[in-house]
Chains A and B, each alone.
Chain A
Amino acid sequence: MTATGVELRGLTKTFNGPGRPVQAVRGIDVSIAPGETVALLGPNGAGKSTTIDMLLGLLEPDAGTVSLSGLESTSAIAAGKVGAMLQTGSLIPNLSVRELVAMMAALYPSPLDVDETLHLCGIEAFAAQRTQKLSGGQTQRVRFALALVSNPDLLVLDEPTVAMDVEGRRAFWATMREFAGRGKTVVFATHYLEEADDFADRAVLLAHGTVVADGPTTEIKARVGARSIRATLPGVGDDELAALPGVVAVARRGDAVELRCADSDAALRALLTTYAGAHDVEVAGAGLEEAFLELTGDEA
């Protein structure tokens, strides 16, 4: 069994946007060990797809290097070590699902068995259908089968579950878990924190084209799993509130303030003792999406 690691060094990419250039990726360094399952996590526009395109050699970086277990991406791909499911793309028509998967398998040196792949991806039921007759969810599963049948050492998935329904998602991750269990390297982009938490060993958080956090998913979750305190508190400045123990950020909506806290217990004690006028106090676990947006530096 072999697996392929990934080394991204100093990757940058700027696109010519309308009017002014858009810096999609501004210096990304990531190393992924063979056999690791890593989530590239970030909101839309964080640079996930651009990073994946550079990883796969579909896009030339302005600066920096990509190495897949010591090989350039084009060589690793030519050797059939890489399988990928891109974010967008449809299937070519006038072939049955089975014919398409079998054709793809034939391009690779050591593919999975076609029947096994059809089974793993749950697409046996419509294996005889022509590809142009499939529903959106079915198409997505076939695209996954095309990536999987190559039996790659490195499997790269760019937001694979976006077009899937809940049932499809569950089946998809079950298949992925089985595949990663064979010691393969898996890199996937997602903007669902839960997917990263459930499935990856490690998450790399991207925002505005840079890595803002990189660590085990439990660690990431602890960081974004902070609580927030909401209270109505007229006449107190943001700076004073931010100075309270345990508070990391302050947001204001009219007379209501929201304190995002690393230690909500300490912050609440200090808030109530310092400002007797505070009322309508609520403590809540920060919504994952909200917390995540804050951590990645975006204004929700």
Chain B
Amino acid sequence: MNLAYTRAELLRTLRNRQAMFFSLGFPLVLYIVIAGPNKGEQDFGGTGVPTALYYMASLASFGTMNAIVASGARIAVEREAGWTRQLRISPLSTTAYFLAKLVTGFALAGSAVALLYLAGTALGVRLSGGRWLEMTGLMVVGLVPFAALGILLGQLIGADAIGPAIGGGIGLLALISGTWFPITSGFIYDVGRLLPSWWLVQAGRAGIGGGAWPLLGWVVVTVWTVALTALAFRAYRRDTAR
């Protein structure tokens, strides 16, 4: 990890008002719009949890997934600007460059989550300290494969297509991973459980009382992390030509 480069990345992100708005403001607004009018509802759709809590967990997973992937995907823009070539002729290692993206992504995701927790509390969400911690800790782990995914996409997809690719991809992942409504059986359930996004959503649900991940969750998240990280590094090495 390179402190100077990471610091510059954080500073750049903080100053990027549009990115900040869509990474932090968007999930927050969405949450308030969905959960605000129904904040008094104590049993959302038969799940036994209040609406405000259910959607706080949902949007935390959705918002963090977006923030993390988008952060890595900014590599696409930097590649097209010729900046990654400039870095290749500097002593900054590939790993350090990726780590700076990773740290920035987690900082953004962390801020998004903090805002959602605050909004949730304002809407009447009350959890024990242990629940908050468990939910947050699992989310951090669940986000690691998405950090690798963002870095991978940033190298495979051009700057022009990266927006739709992420928007559509994350939207679909969120949908079939049970972000917007509970999925408890059927084909989508069987497929969804093999996706890392499913377990990210489940991490949010840990706060609801859904319990921590079973073994399957850890396996799925680990396998995706290893595979996506390997692919991301391979893509970087292959990306030598102009």
**Known interface pairs A59-B240, A89-B83. Does A107 touch B89 (Cβ–Cβ under 8 Å)?**
no
B47 at the interface (CB under 8 A from A): no
Q: Are B241 and A104 in contact, with the CB atoms below 8 A?
A: no
CB contacts (< 8 Å) of A99 on chain B: these are 8, 11
Digit string of B204-242 for contact with A (CB within 8 Å is 1, else 0)?
000000000000000000000000000000000000111
Q: Are B91 and A78 in contact, with the CB atoms below 8 A?
A: yes
Q: Are A95 and B8 in contact, with the CB atoms below 8 A?
A: yes
Q: Are A79 and B91 in contact, with the CB atoms below 8 A?
A: yes
Q: Give the secondary structure class of A's interface.
A: loop
Q: Are B92 and A107 in contact, with the CB atoms below 8 A?
A: yes
CB contacts (< 8 Å) of B86 on chain A: these are 86, 89, 146
Q: Are B240 and A89 in contact, with the CB atoms below 8 A?
A: no
Could you tell me which residues of chain A, from 45 to 92, have a CB within 8 Å of some CB in chain B? Answer: 53, 56-60, 77-80, 82-84, 86, 88-92
User: How far, in angstroms, from A77 to B91 measured CA to CA in the complex?
Assistant: 6
Residue of A with least CB distance to B82:
A89
Could you tell me which residues of chain A, from 28 to 57, have a CB within 8 Å of some CB in chain B? Answer: 53, 56-57
Residue of A with least CB distance to B4:
A106
Q: Say which size band chain A's interface belongs to.
A: 20 to 34
User: How far, in angstroms, from A106 to B13 measured CA to CA in the complex?
Assistant: 19
CB contacts (< 8 Å) of B82 on chain A: these are 86, 88-90
Q: How far is the CB of B35 from chain A (nearest CB, A)?
A: 33
User: How far, in angstroms, from A233 to B2 measured CA to CA in the complex?
Assistant: 72
Could you tell me which residues of chain B, from 1 to 60, have a CB within 8 Å of some CB in chain A? Answer: 2-5, 7-8, 11-13, 15-16
B81's contact among A60, A90, A150, by CB below 8 Å, is which?
A90
User: How far, in angstroms, from A79 to B89 measured CA to CA in the complex?
Assistant: 11
User: How far, in angstroms, from A93 to B77 measured CA to CA in the complex?
Assistant: 11
User: How far, in angstroms, from A60 to B90 measured CA to CA in the complex?
Assistant: 17
B85's contact among A58, A91, A94, A95, by CB below 8 Å, is which?
A58
**Known interface pairs A94-B11, A107-B4. Does A89 touch B85 (Cβ–Cβ under 8 Å)?**
yes
CB contacts (< 8 Å) of B85 on chain A: these are 58, 86, 89
**Known interface pairs A82-B89, A108-B90. Does A91 touch B5 (Cβ–Cβ under 8 Å)?**
no
Q: Are A107 and B5 in contact, with the CB atoms below 8 A?
A: yes
Q: Say which size band chain B's interface belongs to.
A: 20 to 34
**Known interface pairs A59-B240, A93-B12, A99-B8. Does A77 touch B89 (Cβ–Cβ under 8 Å)?**
yes
**Known interface pairs A107-B90, A107-B91. Does A92 touch B78 (Cβ–Cβ under 8 Å)?**
yes
Q: Are A84 and B89 in contact, with the CB atoms below 8 A?
A: yes
Could you tell me which residues of chain B, from 48 to 99, have a CB within 8 Å of some CB in chain A? Answer: 78, 81-83, 85-86, 88-93
CB contacts (< 8 Å) of B15 on chain A: these are 94
CB contacts (< 8 Å) of A79 on chain B: these are 91
Residue of B with least CB distance to A80:
B91
Which among B78, B86, B88, B89 has the greatest number of chain A C-beta atoms within 10 A?
A: B89
A103 at the interface (CB under 8 A from B): yes
CB contacts (< 8 Å) of B11 on chain A: these are 94-95, 99
User: How far, in angstroms, from A31 to B136 measured CA to CA in the complex?
Assistant: 58
Q: Are A104 and B90 in contact, with the CB atoms below 8 A?
A: yes
User: How far, in angstroms, from A105 to B221 measured CA to CA in the complex?
Assistant: 38
Q: Are B90 and A150 in contact, with the CB atoms below 8 A?
A: yes
CB contacts (< 8 Å) of A57 on chain B: these are 88-89
Residue of B with least CB distance to A100:
B8
CB contacts (< 8 Å) of A83 on chain B: these are 89
User: How far, in angstroms, from A78 to B94 measured CA to CA in the complex?
Assistant: 11
Q: How far is the CB of A86 from chain B (nearest CB, A)?
A: 6
A91's contact among B4, B83, B88, B92, by CB below 8 Å, is which?
B83
CB contacts (< 8 Å) of A106 on chain B: these are 2-5
Identify 13 residue pairs between A and B in the complex whose beta-carbon atoms are under 8 Å apart, listed by A's number.
A58-B88, A77-B89, A78-B91, A79-B91, A80-B91, A86-B82, A89-B83, A90-B82, A94-B16, A103-B7, A106-B3, A106-B4, A108-B90
Shortest beta-carbon contacts, A-B, top 7: A89-B82, A106-B4, A94-B12, A94-B15, A103-B8, A90-B81, A80-B91
| Chain B residues in the interface with A (C-beta under 8 A) | 2-5, 7-8, 11-13, 15-16, 78, 81-83, 85-86, 88-93, 240-242
| Chain A residues in the interface with B (C-beta under 8 A) | 53, 56-60, 77-80, 82-84, 86, 88-95, 99-100, 102-104, 106-109, 146, 150
Additional A-B contacts beyond A94-B11, A104-B90 (20; CB < 8 A): A58-B88, A60-B240, A77-B89, A78-B93, A84-B89, A88-B242, A90-B81, A94-B12, A94-B15, A94-B16, A95-B8, A95-B11, A100-B8, A103-B4, A103-B7, A106-B3, A106-B5, A107-B2, A107-B4, A107-B90
